Amino acid sequence: MSRRRPSSRSSTPARDRGKQATSRPAGQLRIIGGEHRRRRLPVLDSPGLRPTPDRVRETLFNWLGPATPGARVLDLFAGTGALGLEALSRGAAEALLVERDARVARTLSDNLATLGIASAAVVMADARSHLEAGPGEATSPFSLAFVDPPFHQGLAAPCCCALEAGWLTPDAWIYVETETSLTPEVPSGWRLHREVRAGDSTGRLYRRSQAFAESPDGDAC
């Protein structure tokens, strides 16, 4: 269910690493639901950069149901923006897409402009570093976060832990995708809601426990 083909993750820098991207469009991302349903957007010719398959996105957003409309979305390792753009099409109020590669980030910005979406921003940054710097006073918490780091880089656990530093609402939803061989370490207050396997990747949808989030004694990581 990766926005990058799983076979590329172990040997090719993925969405939050430097990529040898070119400016040549290689494919298309199709929005599958909501206001922009069936719209097609360009995807750069960058090693391993592919949209999350339609079937997987449909499954995920069926799970999320009414949690998507009005959500504030954080899309880490954004790549094609398949999940962030899908959430916006389905009624998310705002989105922040974090992508390290300059050319990929520029394409994300162009695609937002093509769709006429003004309620989203693209930040060109390393996702882990961005999280660990903290949200800042001007950033409101996010109710929906996508964490889809490159495989075999040890990024899932520290990024999930860093989300607990003020990035999330008390009852936020968090989608984490990793290689199937890895069971990611997540904060103790996250409850697994659903999981799905596609190829050699597994996606897990968690719900943050409001009681845990509000407890001053909670052991997050």
Q: Quote the crossing angle between the two packed helices 82-89 and 102-115, to the nearest 10°.
A: 20
Encode pLDDT of 51-89 as tens digits. Answer: 677 888 999 999 999 999 999 999 999 999 999 999 999
When pLDDT is averaged across residues 186-206 and rounded to a whole number, the result is 93
pLDDT in tens, 38-47: 999 998 877 7
In this structure, of 74-83, 128-137, 211-220, the range with the lowest mean pLDDT score is 211-220
| Architecture label for domain 6-213 | 3-Layer(aba) Sandwich (3.40)
pTM of this prediction? 0.85
Residue-level pLDDT at 137: 86
Phi, psi of 45, rounded to the nearest 5 degrees: -85, 80
Higher per-residue confidence, 84 vs 210: 84
Confidence grade of residue 176 (pLDDT, cut at 50, 70, 90)? very high
Angle of CA points 127, 184, 151, to nearest 5°: 55
Please state the domain extents for the chain: 6-213
Distance CA 63, CA 86 (A): 14
Query: What are 195's two structure tokens?
Result: 């999981």
Tokens of 183: 């069971």
3-class secondary structure, 160: helix
* 132-151: average pLDDT: 93
pLDDT exceeds cutoff 60 at 110: yes
